[in-house]
Copies of this chain bind each other. A is one copy, B any other.
Amino acid sequence: MIQSCQHPSLICSCKLTQPLKSLLLFKCGSRYVSKTATKTVSEFEYDAPSMKTAVPGPKSQELLRQLGEIQNVGAIHFFCNYEESRGNYLVDVDGNRMLDVYTQISSIPIGYNHPALIKVMTNPNNSAFVNRPALGILPPENFPEKLFESLLSIAPSGMNRVQTMACGSCSNENAFKSMFIWYRNKERGYASPSEQEVGTCMINQSPGCPDLSILSFMGAFHGRTMGCLATTHSKAIHKLDIPSFDWPIAPFPKLQYPLEEFVRENAQEEARCLEEVEDLIVKWRQKGKPVAGIVIEPIQAEGGDNHASPDFFIKLRNIARKHGCAFHVDEVQTGGGTTGKFWAHEHWGLDDPADIVSFSKKLLTGGYYHRDELQPDKPYRIFNTWMGDPSKNLFLSEVLNVIRRENLLEEVTRSGKALLQGLYSLQTQYPHILSRARGQGTFCAIDACSDATRDSIMLKARNKGLFMGSCGEKTIRFRPALVFKEYHVHQLLNILNDILAEHK
């Protein structure tokens, strides 16, 4: 079994390539063997991948043909048998069982068909499932209680208020709107809007629809609806042909990994980016399009798993404060425990909390926390028909119970350490193929030497029963569920090692 690094920091900072070399490096055919395998695997789960066909198999291909008559199916990997899937294992319609470390684009918190969730679903008293309310006007009796029990019990420090929404994009769109409303209320000294403002807003014109902007970062992903898309800069396919706003875009630090080995170089790079942020804020103010808010991911996910230091984020928060911009941390992908803390930005140790923290995916419901002053002054300013779905809050309450009962954040920290160590080891053994292993908790990634190599590794892995995700230009991203144990790390590393050993 792999020897665990005992360093207390989350991103293991010991020089893995030196003392652990002999222990960690794979040789062709060497295997991880987990002594504790049977103990760490949840009872309801399978114990290993099991492959019957190449993926996609014949049944998937037939279904793909059928669905192709209705939709563009170019992004579909295969069709799933969700009834048979369990824990970390996703079963497809051809009977292939894969270790799933992509988990529906990082949105399955505690694995497939967790018995605790099945129990919630089959409780006939949970009428929230069949009577979806318009939460903004007619909430159910238990809505405040369920919010306190679920979302507010894990609220980031400084955040007393939460607004639910249906998905990540709606969460960010409404978070942006809250920042615009807050900013304009400040500008007009909290007076009532003028007649001119009320009149012009109806026809999309200034001053009612003001020329305000949101500052975002190159490589960011904040969603695909038109407001969010104006802050998304990860891939051209997301943005091509869609009209956008002239909003400022700052460089996100391009760091060298492992972070601990390039502290000075990385600090310089971060300083350069922060300087650019301030320049852009000044420039856009001069252009008459002041920056109402800054939005940033704690780790740029879709853009290639790009990290920055706590120091960078603390200084960015200070810049937002200095220039009167709201500070919005987008935790849609990083939130929910996968970094070892419930919110990735809790690793920063901010003294001055963020103004807005948005979430979705593993939280099952979308939404955002915000400070008191970011709450709109009037009803119906942040509003839509459903404003989320309380049936998702019921599941979230139970997910949180499971996370606490099974100490899953500690598990994530432990598994994440093993995973990152394994990735360091692989890139040391295969330096011509892999580089830049990085991660926090199980939110890990590694780069291939090219996009073609990355894609080839991923396809081979899938056929061997390991289903991973990609991001950036040539990155493999790991997004396992919170029930991903060291046992599963070893399965993953063994499969990857086999593929790399055969790789030409």
Question: CB-CB contacts of A244-270 with B at 8 A, as 1s and 0s?
Answer: 111101000000000000000000000
Q: When chains A and B are docked, how far (Å) is the Cα of A197 from the Cα of B121?
A: 48
Chain A residues 112 to 145 lying within 8 A of chain B, measured CB to CB, are 112-114, 117-118, 120-122, 124-134, 136-141, 143-144
User: Can you name 12 A-B pairs with beta carbons within 8 Å?
Assistant: A70-B161, A83-B127, A107-B386, A108-B132, A121-B126, A169-B225, A173-B226, A184-B241, A201-B240, A204-B239, A208-B236, A225-B225
Question: CB-CB contacts of A355-395 with B at 8 A, as 1s and 0s?
Answer: 00000110010000000000110111111111000010001
- The answer to whether B81 touches A141, judged by C-beta atoms less than 8 angstroms apart, is yes
A71 at the binding interface (Cβ < 8 Å): yes
Chain B nearest CB, measured from A478 CB (Å): 16
A177 at the binding interface (Cβ < 8 Å): yes
Chain B nearest CB, measured from A254 CB (Å): 15
Closest to A187 in B: B241
Chain B nearest CB, measured from A297 CB (Å): 15
Q: How big is chain A's contact interface, by range?
A: 35 or more
Which one of B74, B108, B133, B209 contacts A243 once the chains associate, using CB atoms below 8 Å? B209
- The answer to whether A70 touches B104, judged by C-beta atoms less than 8 angstroms apart, is no
- The answer to whether A379 touches B74, judged by C-beta atoms less than 8 angstroms apart, is yes
Give every chain B residue within 8 A of A360 (Cβ-Cβ): 385
- The answer to whether A203 touches B249, judged by C-beta atoms less than 8 angstroms apart, is yes
- The answer to whether A79 touches B379, judged by C-beta atoms less than 8 angstroms apart, is no
A10 at the binding interface (Cβ < 8 Å): no
- With contacts A104-B385, A176-B226, A209-B244 taken as known, whether A76 is within 8 angstroms of B167 at the C-beta atoms is no
Q: When chains A and B are docked, how far (Å) is the Cα of A201 from the Cα of B226?
A: 13
Closest to A381 in B: B237
Give every chain B residue within 8 A of A79 (Cβ-Cβ): 138-141, 143
Chain B nearest CB, measured from A300 CB (Å): 14
Which one of B70, B143, B193, B199 contacts A160 once the chains associate, using CB atoms below 8 Å? B70
Given A74-B380, A104-B138, 20 more pairs with CB closer than 8 A? A67-B147, A72-B376, A72-B382, A74-B378, A76-B139, A81-B141, A83-B125, A105-B385, A113-B131, A121-B129, A167-B170, A168-B385, A169-B173, A174-B224, A177-B242, A183-B241, A208-B239, A209-B241, A212-B243, A225-B227
Give every chain B residue within 8 A of A130 (Cβ-Cβ): 113-114, 117-118, 120-121, 395
Which one of B81, B82, B129, B162 contacts A70 once the chains associate, using CB atoms below 8 Å? B162
Question: CB-CB contacts of A149-177 with B at 8 A, as 1s and 0s?
Answer: 00010000000111100111110011011
- The answer to whether A241 touches B180, judged by C-beta atoms less than 8 angstroms apart, is yes
A488 at the binding interface (Cβ < 8 Å): no
